[in-house]
Amino acid sequence: MHWFANPARFMRIAEKLLPWVAGAALLSIAIGLYQGLLASPADYQQGETVRIMYVHVPSAWMAMFCYMTLAVASASFLIWKHPLADVAAQAAAPIGAGFTAMALITGALWGQPMWGTWWVWDARLTSVLILFFLYLGYIALVNAFDEPERGARAGAILALVGVVNVPIIKFSVDWWNTLHQPASLTRLDAPAIDPAMLSPLLLMALGFQLYFVVVLIIRMRAILTARRIRALHMVEPGE
């Protein structure tokens, strides 16, 4: 891990890797979308609308994955004081928020043909919504301080508090859901995982992962550059 710790070295390696990872992401998403939207079978119950699952489900996975990344980076920052950890955390947060928003929007789009409403308070969508609030809170906190270092430290603690809460929140939302709705419906899922459906799903998940890495690297570079500019501003004339 410490080999990556030097910002200059990180930038150089990241710069070299970036085009390859970006290409792989593009390829994966393209093939996944082709298979999902065109080549795979429609569901006999839900018809063509099941195809939105190929975007919704990987988005929801990424929403959780990004939060885990946020938590791990925050722990790395607080416990081992890894120099790039807080940069990674702050870079990952908006990407995670974006995936969460996409999961919510595609969830709504999927629900509309099924139940005729644009939003339904099923357990998973509700949990994802609360996760969205957690992301927004993190981003707001990190940006609320005049001193960026203070924001990074506070955000790291908040991310860890959040990650401990996420299973508790999920449990309570599932509890709430079973209390208020009969067991009949409300699973925004593919009814059965047919192998032909699995392949595009996994390809989309892989593509999203690679996309995450690409955007993470770009954002980390941006954050490091901003820090350097700030350091340059602090250098007094004549030094």
Partner 1 sequence: MKGFAAIIRRELKLAMRQGSDAAIALIFFVVVVALFPLGVGPEPGVLERISGGVVWIGALLAAMLSLDRLFQADHEDGGLDLLVMAPWPLEVLVLAKCLAHWLVTGLPIMLISPLLGLLLHMNTEAYFTLLAAMALGTPVLSLIGAVGAALVLGARRAGVLVSLLVLPLTVPVLIFGVSAVEAAAIGQGAGPHLMLLGALLLAAIPLCPWAAAAALRQAVT
Partner 2 sequence: MDQAGSSIFRGDAVSCVRGARRVFAGLDFALRAGDALVLIGPNGSGKSSLLRLMAGLSAPASGTILWGGVDIAADRQGHGARAHYVGHATGVKPALSAAEDLGFWSAFRLHGNPRAESRALEDFGLTDRAGFPVRFLSSGQKRRLALARLLAAPAPLWLLDEPTVGLDREGQAALESAIAAHRESGGIVVLASHVDVALGGSADELNLADYRAALVDSAGDIWSEFGA
The rounded distance, in Å, linking the Cα atoms of 177 and 163 is 21
Residue 124's nearest CA partner among 192, 191, 68, 174 is 174
Q: Does 133 bind partner 1 (CB under 8 A)?
A: yes
Count, residues near partner 1 per rule CB under 8 A: 30
x/- track of binding to partner 2 for residues 3-22 (CB under 8 A): ----xxx-xx----------
* Interface of this chain with partner 1, residues 145 to 184, rule: CB under 8 A: 145-146, 150-151, 153-154, 157-158, 160-162, 164-165, 168-169, 171-173, 175-176, 179
Q: Does 153 bind partner 2 (CB under 8 A)?
A: no
CB 186 within 8 A of CB 123: yes
> Near partner 1 by CB under 8 A, which window of 15-23, 43-51, 102-110, 130-138?
130-138
Pick one of partner 1, partner 2, none as the site partner of residue 117 (Cβ within 5 to 8 A by kind): none
The rounded distance, in Å, linking the Cα atoms of 230 and 119 is 44
Shortest separation between residue 165's beta carbon and partner 1, angstroms: 5
Count, residues near partner 2 per rule CB under 8 A: 18
The rounded distance, in Å, linking the Cα atoms of 102 and 233 is 38
CA 45 to each of CA 12, 34, 49: distance values in angstroms, whole numbers, following the listed order: 51, 22, 10
The rounded distance, in Å, linking the Cα atoms of 88 and 220 is 6
Residues that bind partner 2 (CB under 8 A): 7-9, 11-12, 147, 149, 224-225, 227-228, 230-232, 234-236, 239
